[in-house]
Structure 1
């Protein structure tokens, strides 16, 4: 069973009075509808991102607090390691050993981080740019038909 929109008769003519709408009016109306759709989607995205932003802000603050407490814990652990080594060794030797170990760990982490950054490549979102270019070309191609 075929469904015909109520504003059109079975002859294909618009029952509002004119035979057919000019293509320019159809394009203009489609453009307006597309603009309204995009604006509505942007408003929805903005509201969603605002809500998510609040949650991310709270979560980020808690992560920051956890990082600070973790850093203080590591400082206490370093002091504990120095104190433990100071039992058989002089305090200065114990502190020097712990400092050297921390320096080696920092160097390994820095080199590994540099390697990861080098592998990441350019910071531009190249795949997204290519995708947007393809979308624009598709839209241009469909409007020229």
Structure 2
């Protein structure tokens, strides 16, 4: 099936306003389609992330129970060398040292966060006419 009006003739007879209107409508449709695609992809990714987070939560809880029983075994084992009260203090001090090391490392990592400087710089370069609410 062929178009009854050749493209050259159609371009010559169409006003600039109609051409701009068509381009604007096409851009609007493109943006809507891209947003819908992004929503669909992010929804699927969020579902997968939720399942993965649940698995990590289960693994963390199981590891906590393993650590608890390992701690009881260490306390009990040290109780044969020392008395039970002193062996409990030794195990608690070891955990305190580990907690302090993890805290200090975490604090150091948080101080190194610098956000998204490249994105901020890139957004500053967008012309005002393209930004939402901008004027041409």
- Length-normalised TM-score, structure 2: 0.81
* Alpha-carbon distance, 1:8 to partner: 2.0
The partner residue of 1:83 within 76, 86, 90 is 76
| 2:52 is the counterpart of 1:59 | yes
The one of 25, 30, 47 equivalent to 1:37 is 30
Give the aligned length: 127
> Given the alignment, which residue of 121, 127, 130 partners 1:137?
127
**Cα deviation code 1:21-75 (max 9, x no counterpart):** 3333322221211111011011111112222222221121111111101111111
1:83-126 CA deviation, whole Å, 9 max, x = no partner? 110011000110111111111111111011101100113x4x33
Query: Does the residue aligned with 1:44 lie in a helix, a strand or coil?
Result: helix
Matches within 5 A, 1:1-145: 7-9=6-8, 13-14=9-10, 19-121=12-114, 123=115, 125-134=116-125, 136-137=126-127
**Could you say what secondary structure the match of 2:14 adopts?**
coil
TM-score by length of 1: 0.77
Tell me how far apart the structure 1 counterparts of residues 6 and 105 of structure 2 sit (CA, whole Å).
Answer: 67
Give the unaligned 5+ runs of structure 1.
1-5
Shift of 1:139: 7.0
Gaps of 5+ in 2: 131-135
